[in-house]
Amino acid sequence: MFHNLLSVGPYGQWIVAIMATICSLTSGQFYAWPAAALPKINSGSAGFSLTDNESAWMITITFLGNILSPIPSGALMDRIGRRSTLSLGLLVAITSWLILAFQTDIVSILIARFLSGVWGGIVYTVVPAFLGEVVDPKIRGSMGAVFGVMLYVGALYESLASNVSYQLFIFISMIPPIILFVGFLFIPESPYYYLRKEKREKAKNSIIWLKGRCSDEDLDILQQRVQEQLEMKGTFCDIFRTKAGRKAFIIVEVLQAVQRCSGVTFLFAYTTVVVPESWLSPQDSFLLLTIVWITCSLLSSTFMDKFGRKTLLCISCLGSGLGMSAAAVWYYLRDFSEIDTSTTNYIPLLFLIFSGIFYSMGIVSIPTIVQSELFPVNVKSKGSALACITANIFSGISTRFFYDINDAIWVYFNFVIMGVSPLICVVFILTVMVETKGKSLEMIQDMLNGHKVVKPVAERFVISQGLGKGSPNEDPDQIATSLPSSLIPSQIPFGLDRPSFEFF
């Protein structure tokens, strides 16, 4: 809107990319808010209280908003633009915080939490497309990595902000979306959106603001690419018409379900409820966990492309599953044996840290990286939408029935589910999942169809000539892989193909 008032040369795309990734921070705030707010609500210091059933619905209804908003927001972004859709979504987020600040009845709280879920769905639908359309390929991977980490930074922000009164806590939580809304007034719309609407001059001005320059030849190439993308639309039914599509669907759905049942969704909401007081308070334990998640996610980006997807995911599932299973044993001994565990209250936190380290190695990112690699271009957005729905259904289930499981079986069984899910997934990975690292989309489709995969002649020539890193004996996959997957939940496509991002 006011972007013509500023001129930032070639750094415009960095400004837009950073602002877009901060949207993930604001979404992470909402997901982590229950863990930060429940101690205040349960103690009465918030000025109101909720029953266990109301608390469970307060958390779960967010995922209903996640399920319902991606498809409408995808249509809206094509109608009014990517930036405009995000700005409208930020108003939804700010409204959610305002309701939480001034209303304490359960109906108002549920409405606010539903709106927060709507904002989360908008973020994971629109931001990937926005980033893919305004950022150069050479920095797109790093921006995607930042996008992933920002979710955990949002959780860290909530944890730190919760050390004040309840209402002040809400107002502090409202600051990032307000700043972001104002910032969005000073950045341009995506040039792809303008070209879709045949507004060539506005598209050129947008590119100049983002990158400092734009030739007519570059604009012609971009316009041709947009037209090609518009002609490659698929339907939901196209996913199931081929053996490759059906197998891709099964792999993606199972991995997404396991990702959501393995712990982080649950811990975002209930860490301060389930972790006992020890060296650290439950609130400080949650703070420590968010730091562990952020640190390990950053470290995992350094070796994500050095190992195959299957190998890394197997290690991640084994470590995470064993950590959660060990925590389940401790809770079982505490509640069903005569062993005195009062002097070992720190052990669950250690097991959760151990599990979180391995979770960040693969489960948090590989399912949606694989999702972006398995579906062909014409149905990628459709497959991603289905995966988004599945992931949020399992997120809702894992949070909604926490108190019910506590009452019917006891708290340890929640950890049994989070431990067994990734361990069972190891069998699925070894028997069903295909290795996608360093494979072209065509090679992956051949593998899914059960055909023998032969490396392209051009790739064999590159290897034989030593044109990779200088050695003829290099790993072909390392040469074939040009973009790091780092810790982004799915690789951001260039152009209008827009898979949804899901993190936990």
- What pLDDT is recorded for position 474? 43
Domain limits, CATH 1.20.1250.20, in the chain: 1-189, 238-493
In the predicted structure, residue 461 carries a pLDDT above the cut 50: no
Instruction: Give the rounded percent of residues in the chain with a pLDDT score beyond 90.
Output: 49
Please, is 299 exposed, middle or buried when counting C-beta atoms within 10 Å of its C-beta (0-12, 13-18, 19+)? middle
In the predicted structure, residue 438 carries a pLDDT above the cut 80: no
CA distances from 105 to 102, 136, 406 (A): 10, 47, 25
- Please give, one letter per residue, the 3-state secondary structure of 101-133: HHCCCHHHHHHHHHHHHHHHHHHHHHHHHHHHH
In the predicted structure, residue 326 carries a pLDDT above the cut 90: yes
In the predicted structure, residue 308 carries a pLDDT above the cut 60: yes
Q: Which residue would you say has higher pLDDT here, 294 or 479?
A: 294
pLDDT tens-digit series, residues 416-433: 999 999 999 999 999 999
Question: In the structure encoding, which two tokens stand for residue 503, read together?
Answer: 């993190």
Summarize the confidence of residues 114-137 as an average pLDDT: 85
Q: Are the CB atoms for 117 and 63 separated by under 8 Å?
A: yes
> How much is the mean pLDDT over the chain?
83
Q: Are the CB atoms for 303 and 478 separated by under 8 Å?
A: no
In the predicted structure, residue 169 carries a pLDDT above the cut 80: yes
In the predicted structure, residue 263 carries a pLDDT above the cut 80: yes
Neighbours of 109 (CB within 10 A): 22
C-alpha to C-alpha distance for 355 and 415, rounded to whole angstroms: 11
In the predicted structure, residue 305 carries a pLDDT above the cut 80: no
Q: Are the CB atoms for 316 and 361 separated by under 8 Å?
A: yes
238-493: CATH class: mainly alpha
Q: Which residue would you say has higher pLDDT here, 474 or 454?
A: 454
In the predicted structure, residue 364 carries a pLDDT above the cut 90: no
- What pLDDT is recorded for position 7? 63
Q: pLDDT band at 501, cuts 50/70/90?
A: very low
pLDDT tens-digit series, residues 180-222: 999 999 899 988 888 888 888 888 888 888 887 777 777 887 7
Q: pTM for this structure?
A: 0.81
Q: Which residue would you say has higher pLDDT here, 318 or 303?
A: 318
Q: pLDDT band at 242, cuts 50/70/90?
A: confident
Measured N-to-C along each axis, helices 380-400 and 243-261 cross at an angle, to the nearest 10 degrees, of: 30
Query: Would you identify the CATH topology of the domain 1-189?
Result: Growth Hormone; Chain: A; (1.20.1250)
In the predicted structure, residue 409 carries a pLDDT above the cut 50: yes
- What pLDDT is recorded for position 1? 56
In the predicted structure, residue 297 carries a pLDDT above the cut 80: yes
C-alpha to C-alpha distance for 388 and 196, rounded to whole angstroms: 26
Give the CB-side neighbour count of residue 209, counting CA atoms within 13 A.
22
C-alpha to C-alpha distance for 295 and 292, rounded to whole angstroms: 5
Task: Find the angle CA(142)-CA(144)-CA(145) to the nearest 5 degrees.
Answer: 65
C-alpha to C-alpha distance for 321 and 486, rounded to whole angstroms: 22
**How is residue 49 annotated by DSSP?**
-
Question: In the structure encoding, which two tokens stand for residue 32, read together?
Answer: 């982590």
In the predicted structure, residue 401 carries a pLDDT above the cut 50: yes
Amino acid identity of residue 432, one-letter, is V
Neighbours of 105 (CB within 10 A): 9
- Token look-up 């599932």 returns 317
Question: In the structure encoding, which two tokens stand for residue 475, read together?
Answer: 């790993």
Rg (CA), the chain: 23
**How is residue 363 annotated by DSSP?**
I
- What pLDDT is recorded for position 8? 64
C-alpha to C-alpha distance for 188 and 17, rounded to whole angstroms: 12
pLDDT tens-digit series, residues 67-100: 999 888 888 888 899 899 999 999 999 999 999 9
